[in-house]
Structure formats: C-alpha cells, structure tokens
Chain A
Amino acid sequence: MRLAIRDVLALIAGDPQADRAVPPTGFTARLTLFTAAAMAFLAVFAMALSLATGRLADRWSEELARTSTLRISAPADQAAAQARRAIAVLETTPGVAAARPLTAEEQRNLLEPWFGPDLPIDALPIPQLIEIIEEGSGYDPIGLRARLQAEVPGAVLDDHTRWREPLVAAAGRLRMLGWLAIALIGLATGAMITLAAQSALAANAQVIRVMRLVGAQDSYIARAFVRRFTQRALMGAAIGTLLGMIAVFALPDADVAGGFLTGLGFRGAGWIWPLLVPPLAAVVAFLATRAAAMRTLGEQS
C-alpha cells in the first residue's frame, strides 16, 4: 500500500528524464487519447442513466406510496350516496390526511389518452374515483377494506402496491444496469490501454534493452510508460467527459416534454459525479499500464 502511494506520488511529481528516454509514439498516443475520450463520453451517459433511474425509482416509490385510490362501482342512483359514505369512512380512518372524489373533468382527463377528447363521460357507466392522501405511516389497508366492505359494498381500494412494486423494481434494475455499464466501460478502457501499452513496450524493446544495459531498474523503465499513458488517459477522459456533459446538458428538459427518457441527466450536486470520470480513467490507465509494463519487462528479461 505504501509502495502504491509512493508510486502515485512519484507519478504526479513526474520524471521528465524517464519520459524523454522513451520516444513519443504517435499511434499509441492517439489510440489511448481516443479510447479514453470515447469511453468517458459513454461513461457520462451511463452515469446519467443510472442517476436518472435512481431518481425515477425514488419518485415513483414516494408518489405511489403516499396516495391510493378508492373506486365506487355502484348503480348510478346509488353512486353519489356510496361516495359520501366512503368519504365519511375515510375521514375517520387514522393515517388518511385527505380524501376527495375526482371531478368529472379530472376523470375525463384520465381517460382521454385512451378514448380521445370527445368522450361522453356522462353517458358511460364510469365508476366514481376517490383520491386518498396518506399521512404519517399511512393507514391500515386490511382494516380499511373491512370497514368499506361493511359500509360501502361497491368500494374497491387500490393502494397502488401492485403498480408500485414492479415499477420500482424495474427502475432499480435499470439503475443497476447503468452502474454495470460503467464498470464494463472501465474494464474495456483498461483492456484497450493494456493493448496500447503492450504495443508501445514491444515497439520500444531496444529502448528497454539500452536502459537495462545502463542499470535502470524495472520500476524506472515502467514509470516512463505508465506516466505517459496515465496522462493521455486523463486528458482523453477529460475531453470525453466535457463533451458528454455538454451532450447531457443539451438533452430536452423533462418538465417540457415529459416522459422518462427526457428526464435523463444530472440534477444539482449530481453534476459532480461525471467529474470523477477523468481521475478514475487515469487510475485505470495507471494500473493497466503498470501491470502490462511489469509483465512485459519480466518476459523480456
């Protein structure tokens, strides 16, 4: 651990002489820069997806947990009376903050996406809906159902559990997929940087031979390669992250267009998360290049 910290500090401090010993190689430099930039760009989107689905899961969970719906399915001449009785029952139920019947206009709005705007709601046998707002730890659904069954036979209580659980589970899985994508992006970045580093090490076999001839230790030789690849990965990832953040920022606003996908993005302090991508890319490059360098140096000895 102490050795790793010393290595990182030495890397930050830099050793221009060790760097100069390795000739600049344009191809691997460009490859590493492009890979790091592309992966950082994708990582920013994966992060935005993960954070957005997290927010969505929380919002769905909270919104659906705080409200429920009572449906009064009764003949037209009894509907109003049953609704009043149901309201009376709800107003005396602990854990219910408020209960109100939806207006005909509100019920029409709910049905409009399915039946169109010209729905003759008065001519249809549509059940009366009552919105229940909960308070505190909520009401006891089993007790309320028993009371409603006794006093309002046409009432059906929907506490949204059957909607909420699969939605929250789906959002949770999406969030997990987002983080999995970030982990895969990190691994793929490491793999590609390893290949680029191995290519550079193979191309510089003569340099390594000369440095060994004059007494260079493996750590000194490796440092020249590690520092170079770490810097390239950091720079590439910074460019990719910046472009990714601009792209996420430019996405349509959720409030304007609505829907899940338009909610993709960062909110408030969430904008700090993508800033972690470049240093993480640098750490991945450092570890990948160091492992590749030490392995190659071992094989070349």
Chain B
Amino acid sequence: MIELEDVAYSYGRAELFAQLNLSLAPGSFHFLTGPSGAGKTTLLKLCYGELSATAGQVRLFGQDATTLERDGIAMIRRRIGVVHQDCQFLDHLPVAENIALPLKVASREAEAVGNLDDLLAWVGLRAQANQTPPQLSGGERQRAALARAVIMSPDVIIADEPTGNVDWEMSQRLLTLLVELNKMGKTVLIATHDLNLIRTAKKQVSARVLRLKDRQLHQAGAEL
C-alpha cells in the first residue's frame, strides 16, 4: 500500500535520513518510535504525500508519489486518514462539520447522513457535535480527529503522537479505537514516544515496532 524504497530526505543541507526502506502491507499495524528530531513526523508526511523525498522512491497505492500532481496527491489523501498531534481543525465550524469535511470535499456528503451519527457515537462525541473545536478538551479533540480520519473509510490510518496531549485513560481509549480499526482491516501507522502505549497495544494486536535512529529505520527489539 505504502512503500518507501531507498528514501532520503533533507532539510537544506541537513540530511534527516537516507537509504530508508518501509513497506506497509494491508491490514498491518506499525508503531514508529525514535528520539525527538529523528524525523518521525517527516517520515509520516512522506507516507501521505505532504512532502516529497529528496531521493529514492515513494509509492502510494502503487503510484509513484513524485510523479503525482497536487490533485493526484489529494485523491491519495482520501485513502489515508491522518490524525495530527495538534489535530488541525477548522475552528469556526462545529465538530460534526469538521468530521464530515473529508466527505464534503469529495462530494460524498450524502454518506455523512448515517455515518456521522454512528461515528460520533463510536468516539463518544455525540453530545459535542455542535460545539466548535476550541470548546473541546484535548482528548475530545483527538477523538474528533480520529473520527474525521476514518469517515472516508480509508485504507490506511496514520497518527502522529495521537496520545501526546491526553491522559493515560484517554490514550487507552484512543488505542482501543485504533485497534478496532485495524481489526476491521485498516492499515495503521502510529508515531509515538509512549512505550507504555506500545506495550499495551502489543497485548491486543500484532504490531510491528520501528525505531528511527541515526538516519535509519530499525526493527525494535524484544525490549518492547
């Protein structure tokens, strides 16, 4: 689904990583860890086409990302649900409209009628549907972002530090939702610092843990 082959990425002269390989198979569950500044967020952005690799090849659903126009990338994004640490909402719109936004931009508003209510119930935000994002707590915002990421029923869910701003209980709740999605056949890639979250997840799902360090991606050992 998403394949990175000998990929390098540089910010100016500073090379963040090089000769990096990654393959996300359908239905797989991955954690991406590593020290701050190692390039986890950059790697995720390469995976959903927000950034272009400075070398190597990125294939998104079989298409070479470097040859895709902006509109082509937009079509790819509809197959990848993204959850940011800072969520990124349209603050002037109610939560329900923010969650339904991917359907609207894809001209599939009709699907929102039934799905949206179910989704709000699934993430426990039915009561907050008409509130605006700034009125939500950190955990509620993360759940709303997760709901928005899955409303298009994407093939892949990519989450960048989804539990970074929430307490333990809420992080467990978010993890449960992500595991449920994986059990529904979705591919999940989560970047996180939270080793406890990874340990808990490994009890529920067969997860592969990747560590980004020294410009390379390593398979994490049994210490996790």
Contacts and interface: CB of A to CB of B under 8 A. Distances in A.
A101 to B, nearest CB: 83
A217 interface: yes
Contact size range, A: 20 to 34
A211 B88 CA distance: 10
A211 B148 CA distance: 12
A297 B148 contact: no
A220 B70 contact: no
A21 B90 contact: yes
B199 interface: no
The listed residue with most A CB atoms (<10 A of its CB), out of B93, B97, B101, is B101
Contact of A218 (B70, B88, B148, B152): B70
Given A17-B109, A21-B101, A217-B71, A212 B90 contact: no
A213 B88 contact: yes
A50 to B, nearest CB: 44
B170 interface: no
Interface string B53-94: 000000000000000001100110110001010001110110
B105 A210 contact: no
Given A17-B109, A20-B93, A20-B97, A215 B88 contact: no
A214 B105 contact: yes
Interface string B148-169: 1000100000000000000000
Contacts of A220: 105
B93 A216 contact: no
Interface in A204-250: 206-207, 209-220
B208 interface: no
Contacts of B74: 212, 215-218
Interface string B123-139: 00000000000000000
B75 A214 contact: no
Contact of A210 (B50, B70, B78, B89): B89
A298 B82 CA distance: 22
A301 interface: yes
A226 to B, nearest CB: 16
B104 interface: yes
Nearest to A220: B105
A253 B9 CA distance: 75
B94 to A, nearest CB: 10
A33 B109 CA distance: 32
Interface string B80-124: 001010001110110001000110111001000000000000000
Contacts of A206: 88
A39 to B, nearest CB: 30
Contacts of A117: none
Contacts of B109: 17
Contacts of B88: 206, 209-210, 213
A23 interface: yes
Contacts of A209: 88
A22 to B, nearest CB: 9
A17 B104 contact: yes
Contact of A207 (B75, B84, B90): B90
B97 A215 contact: no
A70 B23 CA distance: 101
B70 A215 contact: no
B97 A297 contact: no
B146 to A, nearest CB: 13
8 contacts: A18-B104, A21-B93, A21-B101, A214-B105, A215-B74, A217-B70, A217-B74, A297-B70
What are the 3 tightest A-B residue pairs by CB atom distance, in nearest-first order? A215-B78, A216-B105, A215-B77
Interface of B: 50, 70-71, 74-75, 77-78, 82, 84, 88-90, 92-93, 97, 101-102, 104-106, 109, 148, 152
Given A210-B88, A216-B74, A297-B70, 18 more contacts: A18-B104, A18-B105, A20-B93, A23-B90, A207-B90, A209-B88, A210-B90, A212-B74, A213-B88, A214-B102, A215-B74, A215-B105, A215-B152, A216-B105, A217-B70, A217-B75, A218-B70, A219-B71
